[in-house]
Structure 1
């Protein structure tokens, strides 16, 4: 019987994002190199919309095909050069029938695209006295769940607003995931209210690690990201948090903690599945 490695070193890169796509991507690749040199991670994550400003008027202009576009090519080369897995935050993807998606790409140490996830829940909100934003003005919602494996450990992928939907996280838990990664760009209204709360809730509900990756805060931007990328453990404890500016988190993930929590508080064995359940009803 093969024993899976229990420790995985993770690097979370929080990036400032401007209007120059090439500069944004070059900065991301340079930061990946720095993190690899300093911390030697197995897996590196990037923020939501790291190659363009976050805004409906920018998504189509900055969109690319995957994996043929510039950003994909650079992430593929970086993953191969450094021999690491990269969860490439998200970029606007030019999809089928001219649809635009908010898409996360995942690259293996050989530079292969092993998965992509299109944001399932679009960020359409109108908070009185706070923020009004409608991704659906430009974006199309994805409809597929995405689970990757790194050294035998299953990791689910969501993006930002997806974190508010416990059902998505539950599906990933039911699929055997021990971690969920959410690139996300909460703002100055929702960030202080719910950013940490939602991460700890999803981690506690499903007894797994939750990793979030925000862009850095830029007070001159039209959409100001909250920052504070985090790693939360299956006990719902915040293990590490970035600042609000450009920053890096490096941490060794101990997957044995997942086993410990699930054994000590066995909620999934105790669920009344005769009365309620969360199931996938459609998977394209």
Structure 2
């Protein structure tokens, strides 16, 4: 039986969200300037939340991660340590938008001292940075699930050969609008992150990602719609544009899906800025019409959002 429980809206007012689908070449400075142009274009279209793709400042691939990695801690890093950090901050501030800065390769170093010697250990992450409209860093997300797959005869990739995983679930409050959950690419295949974020009040789940030409046509849109229908929230996936001259061929097709799992807007494979308006009434309509939130049987199965969840890096 549906409950008559009254729930506060999770999205306080309508907001336009843009996914910026762009291609990254080998020149980091050029990539950052190009991203700035496209963020400006998204803001001019009325977007107040702008999303960039995974590895937007560099080519995607294990061979590239170390050479493009930037030191992010302590925050704020110097411009020499992290030009991408400062470029993203400026993009958000100059355009007055919340900027979910796709992801960039991150370098973290630790020094251990032994008898008569010290050793510097380098650890690499795939990290997303989110900035406020004033250019303030709001949160970071290190990719939790590393992309290690092997589809015989079609595609093999092992991020864990170079990268280490993050260890927390990431949500961020955007005061005028509400809370969003942020994860990266392969994280979308793990519904637990999405379920927890939705049950903690997120109105949207946002995934910068770079699916390939094998898994993209199979699962990219399917996973976006699945996370939306399971959780009755908006879902945005933002991909790089496809560059067949690069070593990694991204599927593209950045998209935004509504709480009833309908695709609101979707790019093709080329560079594009796609914009959708998110409306809290649509979330409430979905949840009242199909009242999953009041019908879950936690007497039969556990609520994953009430278990041990890391919201901070250990």
Fold shared per TM-score above 0.5: yes
* Residue matched to 1:36: 43
Higher helix share: 1
Q: Kindly state the Cα deviation for residue 268 of structure 1 after the two structures are TM-superposed.
A: 2.1
Does the 8 A contact of 2:178 with 2:203 survive in 1? yes
Task: Find the partner of 2:134 among 89, 100, 110.
Answer: 110
1:16 aligns with 2:23: yes
2:218 — aligned with what? 193
Structure with the greater alpha carbon radius of gyration: 2
2:308 aligned residue: 281
8 Å CA contact 2:169–2:309 kept in 1: the answer is no
The structure 2 residue matched to 1:158, chosen from 179, 183, 196, is 183
Per-residue CA distance 1:105-133 (angstroms, 9 max, x = gap): 00001100000100000000000111100
- Distance across 2 between alignment mates of 1:96 and 1:105: 19
For 1:203 and 1:11, how far apart are their aligned partners in 2? 17
TM-score (norm 1): 0.96
Deviation of 1:34 (Å): 2.1
1:257 aligns with 2:264: no
Q: What residue in structure 2 maps to residue 141 of structure 1?
A: 165
**Residue in structure 1 matched with residue 5 of structure 2 by the alignment:** none
Indicate the SS of the match to 1:198.
helix
CA drift of 1:212 comes to: 0.5
Query: For 2:42 and 2:140, how far apart are their aligned partners in 1?
Result: 23
Q: Distance in 1 between matches of 2:107 and 2:184?
A: 17
> Scaled by the length of structure 2, what TM-score is found?
0.87
Q: What root-mean-square deviation, in Å, do the aligned CA atoms of Structure 1 and Structure 2 show? A: 1.4
Cα distance in 1, alignment partners of residues 50 and 230 from structure 2: 25
Equivalence for 1:266 = 291
**Among 261, 268, 271, which residue is 1:243 paired with?**
268
- In 2, the alpha carbon distance for the partners of 1:250 and 1:56 equals 31
Residues 57-76 of structure 1: pairs in structure 2 closer than 5 A: 57-66=63-72, 67-68=76-77, 69-76=82-89
Q: CA deviation at 1:221?
A: 1.1
Alignment of 1:94-133 (within 5 A): 94-97=107-110, 98-133=122-157
Report how far residue 32 of structure 1 moved.
Answer: 1.0
| Cα distance in structure 2, aligned partners of 1:253 and 1:178 | 9
Partner SS, residue 129 of structure 2 = strand
Which residue is 2:90 aligned to?
77
Number of corresponding residues = 282
- 1:87 match: 100
Aligned residues of 2:15 and 2:177 also touching (Cα < 8 A): no
Q: Which runs of 5+ in 1 are unaligned?
A: none
> Could you tell me how far apart the structure 2 residues matched to 1:52 and 1:257 are?
37
